[in-house]
Amino acid sequence: MNETTYFFTFGDSYTSTGFNPHGTYPSAENPMGNPSLGEGTSAGGINWVGYLTAVLNTSLMLNYNLAISGACINNSVIRGVPGDLVSQVKSFAIHYASQPAWAPWRSENSAFAIWIGINDIGDSYMDADVDSTLPVLLECYFNLVKDLYEANARRFIFLNIPPTTRSPRIKGENHTAVHAEFVQRYNQALKDKIHAFSQNHPDTSVLEHDTWTFMTEMLDNAPFYGFEDAECQGTGCLWFNDYHPTSNVHELLAADLLSRMRVVNGT
């Protein structure tokens, strides 16, 4: 995947940079388009998308970031802020599916990354019936993936739910076992859906990033990774605030993801 030049991203505050499709277009001089690199994130600086696009990557990559802070998968299932994944994929269809002159992507030179579900779980884990809700969420999710496929997307990156159970916010709500079970079941269901999609669409390239395992390792060994501990928030900490990791965590995540993208591409 290291030849990718057009990088479309979807998700929530862990991904969003506040990009506006009507604003400055991404370019070789400004790969993020708008706003400036490091702005509009929940990390207190550059997030994984910015690092992957404009810092760590050695080839030209242009990012079209349709992620919205606070987004859920489908607001008709679990209501979040305006701008759920349904809306984000519709925005892609409106602005980019036609491969316009300002974003002349093709199947072979583009990648589509989705990191979603954190808010679906965080906003509903005390009330939702997991047995009935989870299949509906994942069905909605992969109907949208199929929409992207039908628009000629062929290279996909899926990120699973990180261990937000260990965030200060969820720990403070004192129901971590319930939250952890929802995360575990979501991640397994996502893995199964990814496998089925890949099997049913052999012309695709699919990469699943196990963000849960990656970030759990950091939480378990925070000082080794340069963080004060796994609990604090702010400068020198793993957590930027009570629910979002710092820019340093995003940099490590982007580096790991980039190395896996290169392996998938055989470089």
What was the pLDDT predicted at 41?
Answer: 99
CATH number at residue 49: 3.40.50.1110
The alpha-helical segments, DSSP class H, found in the chain are 48-50, 85-95, 118-122, 130-150, 168-172, 176-200, 211-220, 247-264
Residue 159: which domain range? 5-265
What was the pLDDT predicted at 36?
Answer: 97
What was the pLDDT predicted at 165?
Answer: 99
Of 219, 118, 243, the residue nearest 168 (C-alpha) = 243
List, for residues 30-79, the tens digit of each pLDDT value. Answer: 999 999 999 999 999 999 999 999 999 999 999 999 999 999 999 999 99
Query: Are 116 and 141 within 8 A, CB to CB?
Result: yes
The domain tally of the chain equals: 1
- pTM, two decimals, is 0.97
What was the pLDDT predicted at 43?
Answer: 98
Given a cut of 90, is residue 88 above it in pLDDT? yes
Structure tokens given for 62: 């242009």
The b-or-e profile of 191-220 (16+ CB within 10 A means b, else e) is eebbeebbeeeeebbbbbbbbbebbbebbe
Mean pLDDT of 88-104: 98
